[in-house]
Chains A and B, each alone.
Chain A
């Protein structure tokens, strides 16, 4: 029976003791301190030690408190041993919740947010216990897909290291104590009309929160609301404002773009709506499904992005040259006057011609890392290309008051230092870690007498504020949020807060004087006003909750004319001298701005291009490394304007010369056991005027070395056909070219000596389209979340023991300066003549009559011959009891999948649990499984529909169609293993003018 069902679960002392059992010395106390967070301790202490009553709000000697707690644990261990361990017990409900069927999952819609923007998700429940995140097909920003960040949500929901009780100056305190303190402040503030009251949040799209803030500012006219997102989209907003005269957001229609130019673009990686854009993008790249037509994609960038890596032509330029290039391009497409910029290079000229030739079907996208000028130029270019109304629309800004965040944060810091701020509410942001270094934000915090931090973890900011309150997890509280196109979603809690948690809404409501804030009421109030008049609100509300989107809230395009002088007003930079180095700050592929540092899945997700895990590094171009005499793993000191950081370098192909890319988010100083001590903190180098890039940087080797761990050690295909790539023309001329290049050894027999199987009922198979895959890694995390694969940590990863069932191989071809990049997801191939099956002495890996190569964990004795004999090396071995040492709560595992123990082999099963569930449901009704009833976790998460899964015996199925494609090929076909997983060859839609490049 799920312990979360009903009221607050209470601290499991048995579990705590188990945790403590393994720990010694410092760790013991550390674990205790974690536990200190839990309200249960307050109760327990008052029971066991009446004397300790009221300690928590007095500032008491910490050691003493810990001693007392140690005693509590000891006592608990005396009282905690009962018969329940000896026999397996069954606990019935008292009253069964309506419609609750044991062991049958239910799905509830909600939304996950990143940088304020919503991505619709469905949460899978077992007996009221969230188990897995899926995309919401009805949500425009998801269409059923999810990002790897959303997939990792479940892990963080159950993270035992989440903040678990309020802290006053670092000492556990009761929430009542805080509330009374807050009310005291409030009465004070009411007198002063809120002078000295400041609220700091991240970017906000929540209508409810916006309304609350508006109300709050009415109550406290002199209060101020500041916003800060470390991964700032300010250049976008600023550029748009300058181009159109007022703030607007662009909504792209990538599905209409036949020619796409991505300039330092985050289109496919983290732009609001990136999942949707990736979906539309991929749909235009699958030549076999579009009648041989394919969009052509160009990219100009200084450091590899996903968009750039899948582009047909990529031009690698240093940042300054990119501006100039945009200028030339603007000129070439008549968006800027002659002489506005140097004449375009042949490459640019060709691109310009191609863009102009596809007027109305062309689109240029530029990422937030380029300055506002770039955005102005691109708006002008798009206008000149007639993109508006076709490949993009302008809408009213989605985020609330998200202009000039940097300025407002600076102002806040100044006022704090000046002592003008006496009450500061920091809601779910971590400025002490992410604020620009020149603001000295952490220091300034000390000057605020009543600084309150609301956050899911005790982080850098929490530890510097007078008060810290545990924030509810995204899946624990009521809220609402808008998607990139303005579509609203209601965020409904999936579970009662596991720990004492408050949402930002509730805190603001408290400040408004409400005694018992009620998140649901707040959100409902917002939507009462907006619900269609006449119809009963209740119906509207339930519908919105069920679908996960509020119908008809997508923003309408607005027709604001572009300012005529938009392009002309732009000042192009004078090209900086070649030899000076530039650094580019980027969010980390996994940790984003650092907020996900405590999530093992994301720490261990191999980074898109470097394939690094558990670390960040200064990414540097091969030539530059050569010039600076640097090798990978060399520790360097990066200095700029008197600020320095030390970190290792990593040589990265397709990186622009003379600029280093620094992924932010690592090097967290105050974090849990997972996030602590991984990578290097780069914020100290990042100031208000160098948020995205800093020029004039000096890099000098320290002589020391560091050990970075990557999940892939060979960068090329070593002359083998792992990814088969060909120009679109070749496919056009001869669709069958692939089968003509015979990769099988003519001598080799085509049949196995063993009798072949026949598959009377189903023949499950997978097809991966390499023209769609953009390498984002959502599938990797989805697989881990679905299949209970453990997180192994840096050391084990370094020893070649990553447990990912699905990996994304990344290969380079050609010149290291501007190479071709190929992504290839590799799950188990489920060979029909599987080499692994014949060598297992105990029948632990077998063929089943659906053609699956199944793994029976409990039969495995661990000879590991199957892995040696697997040419695709997709098998993973539990060298240690990884799952035994996994800190996650028992509730966090997927009950449909066996949790593997030490010494057994495991691998991708095509999500056998989902297949069986569907087959059983079908068999109950005496029918066949229908197309689409089984989706593997990776397939469901994939934003680009690169992965298709289904029954080959059903000739109508999508997978059968893919297998019939002339581009379909088997990996290592020459081995005659007859894999069930096949790939669609990669095509490049090259521009003949640029062919010779």
Chain B
């Protein structure tokens, strides 16, 4: 036609415009959902380690208590990483020739320590304290997932702030009796005291738990 735009022009433009609109919508959806996939959160992804340490074997298998290695968990913000010596207490007796454990023996002999890759960690401006969570009946598996069944260790929670807030805003459902805190396969049973009961017992004040200053200093 004279103006250089064919009869289909209108249609073409309309289709084009709707495509743009659709694209924007998709972008929005991706922006919303994207951060939650395992790639972004690093959830369920096994980190390579110098030694393929199996929590399943040591915890579920041998029944070691979490605190046997993570000694500081009840008294410090930092749960504590077992010194090589701790590994050697047993492994100087058993599996003494396992090639798998060579790095441990090397470290112990040479004094050049192991370099574990962190699985769960928080940015510097977040101050998480293990001891208080343990003291107030938050179990290890509440945040670390089925750690007792992990042949190799992976991160099982996003550790996003909103994830933290879910519990800090409403802790009751996540609480356990003291004796169950370190039990890797604890399940709530009919005779477990209710979350609210525990909340009262532990003197937890949820209204104060969402203060910024609880975690940011």
Contact = CB atoms under 8 A, between A and B. Distances in A.
Instruction: Determine whether A and B are in direct contact in the complex, meaning some CB atoms lie less than 8 angstroms apart.
Output: yes
Interface of A: 1, 84, 87-96, 101-104, 760-761, 843, 846, 848-850, 852, 854, 856-859, 896-899, 909, 912-913, 916, 920, 923-924, 926
A94 B78 CA distance: 18
B125 A857 contact: yes
A760 B115 contact: no
21 contacts: A87-B47, A88-B118, A89-B117, A92-B81, A92-B114, A96-B83, A101-B80, A102-B72, A102-B81, A103-B78, A104-B72, A104-B75, A760-B207, A761-B205, A761-B208, A848-B212, A850-B213, A854-B216, A859-B216, A916-B213, A920-B77
Interface string B43-66: 000010000000000000000000
A863 B136 CA distance: 38
A897 B211 CA distance: 17
Nearest to B131: A924
A83 to B, nearest CB: 9
B84 A92 contact: yes
A849 B204 CA distance: 14
Contacts of A95: 83-85
Given A848-B213, A850-B208, A856-B216, 5 more contacts: A91-B113, A91-B114, A843-B212, A849-B207, A909-B213
Given A90-B81, A93-B84, A761-B208, A916 B217 contact: yes
A896 B213 CA distance: 13
A913 B132 contact: no
Contact of B85 (A96, A848, A859, A916): A96
B211 A849 contact: yes
Contact of A102 (B78, B85, B129, B202): B78
A823 to B, nearest CB: 29
A854 B210 CA distance: 12
B127 interface: yes
A909 B217 contact: yes
Interface residues of B, number: 42
Contact of A89 (B116, B131, B203, B211): B116
A854 B117 CA distance: 33
A992 B18 CA distance: 90
A856 B123 CA distance: 13
A898 B122 CA distance: 13
B206 to A, nearest CB: 11
B111 interface: yes
Give the one of B80, B123, B205 with max A CB within 10 A: B80
Contact of B132 (A94, A102, A849, A924): A924
B217 A896 contact: yes
B132 A923 contact: yes
Interface in B183-217: 202-203, 205, 207-208, 211-214, 216-217
Contacts of B127: 896, 913, 916
A978 to B, nearest CB: 19
Contacts, number: 125
B118 A104 contact: no
- Max count, chain B CB within 10 A of own CB: residue among A101, A897, A913: A101
The 5 closest A-B pairs by CB, nearest first: A848-B211, A103-B78, A93-B83, A854-B213, A102-B78
Contact of A94 (B75, B108, B203, B205): B108
A91 B202 CA distance: 34
B37 interface: no
A380 B113 CA distance: 69
B217 A898 contact: yes
B208 A849 contact: yes
Contacts of A96: 83, 85
Contacts of A856: 212, 216
A912 B213 CA distance: 7
Nearest to B207: A849
A906 to B, nearest CB: 11
A102 B76 contact: yes
A898 B211 contact: no
A854 B213 CA distance: 6
Contacts of B34: none
Nearest to B118: A88
Contacts of B85: 93-96
B28 interface: no
Given A94-B113, A924-B135, A857 B216 contact: yes
Contacts of A913: 127, 217
B82 interface: yes
Interface string B87-128: 000000000000000000001100101111110010111010
A856 B211 CA distance: 10
B131 A920 contact: yes
A854 B72 contact: no
A916 B209 CA distance: 12
Nearest to B75: A101
A103 B72 contact: yes
A856 B215 CA distance: 10
A898 B216 contact: yes
Contact of B77 (A1, A87, A103, A848): A103
Contacts of B203: 923, 926
A847 to B, nearest CB: 9
B83 A92 contact: yes
A979 to B, nearest CB: 18
B87 to A, nearest CB: 9
A101 B76 CA distance: 7
Given A92-B84, A94-B107, A848-B211, A923 B76 contact: no
A924 B75 CA distance: 9
A924 B136 CA distance: 8
Contacts of B135: 923-924
B84 A94 contact: yes
Nearest to B117: A87
Contact of B113 (A92, A897, A923): A92
Contact of B216 (A91, A858, A920, A923): A858
Given A104-B76, A898-B125, A854 B207 contact: no
A103 B118 contact: no
Contacts of B78: 102-103
A104 B76 CA distance: 6
A87 B113 CA distance: 17
Nearest to A858: B125
Contacts of B129: 920
A88 B121 contact: yes
A89 B48 CA distance: 11
Contact of A920 (B132, B202, B213): B132
A727 B66 CA distance: 66
B59 to A, nearest CB: 18
A368 B126 CA distance: 51
B212 A89 contact: no
Nearest to A925: B135
